């Protein structure tokens, strides 16, 4: 009897396998049209991928160009700033010397006025001091004009950079 049960089991298993095989055979086979459609879809996806890669490469190139331009502009501005700083330092040094010379002149004029009561000599000394003070005022004015010109240049450059940043 055990043999019968074993045979039944084997037959049942074989019938199950046959049933599954029939189900597979009953399914419709993929048609040539489906295969062609899938190939066309794959080609379209590959073309889209290639287009995206090209766009990405263009954008990367634009970013690199913008960075290069920004680095160049920044370098130029840093050089201009360094030159302007040196010029202002030199101007400050010259102004300090000029003010010391004016103070020395004023002191010499006071000493001259106290030592020599000659009116013509005193008048000439005072005129020289007055001319020196006028020259000092003109130098101060020139220094202020130079500072304002530097600030105007910096302020004019700022909107251009902002506009370039918005265009990119």
> Is the distance from CB of 129 to CB of 106 less than 8 angstroms?
yes
Which pTM value belongs to this model? 0.45
**Residue 143 is encoded by which pair of tokens?**
């220094």
Q: What does each of the 168 residues of the chain score in pLDDT, given as a tens digit?
A: 678 888 888 889 988 988 888 787 777 766 666 767 788 889 999 999 999 999 999 999 999 999 999 999 999 888 888 888 888 888 888 888 888 888 888 887 787 778 766 777 778 778 888 888 888 888 888 888 888 888 888 788 766 666 655 554
For tokens 């890669």, what's the residue?
53
Instruction: List Cβ neighbours of 77 (8 Å cut-off, separation of 6 or more).
Output: 157
Give the pLDDT confidence score for residue 67 in this predicted structure: 94
> Is the distance from CB of 146 to CB of 91 less than 8 angstroms?
yes
């Amino acid at each position: 009897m055990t043999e019968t049960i074993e045979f039944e089991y084997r037959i049942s298993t074989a019938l199950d396998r046959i049933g599954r095989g029939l189900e597979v055979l009953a399914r419709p086979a993929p048609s040539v049209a489906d295969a062609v459609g899938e190939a066309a879809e794959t080609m379209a996806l590959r073309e889209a991928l290639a287009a995206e890669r090209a766009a990405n490469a263009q954008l990367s190139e634009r970013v690199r160009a913008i960075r290069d331009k920004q680095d160049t502009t920044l370098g130029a501005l840093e050089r201009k700033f360094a030159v302007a700083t040196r010029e202002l330092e030199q101007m400050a040094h010259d102004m300090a010397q000029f003010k010391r010379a004016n103070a020395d002149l004023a002191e010499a004029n006071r000493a001259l006025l106290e030592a020599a009561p000659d009116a013509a000599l005193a008048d000439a000394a005072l005129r020289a001091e007055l001319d020196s003070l006028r020259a000092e005022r003109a130098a101060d004015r020139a220094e202020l004009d130079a500072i304002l010109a530097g600030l105007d240049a910096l302020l004019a450059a700022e909107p251009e950079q902002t506009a370039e940043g918005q265009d990119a």
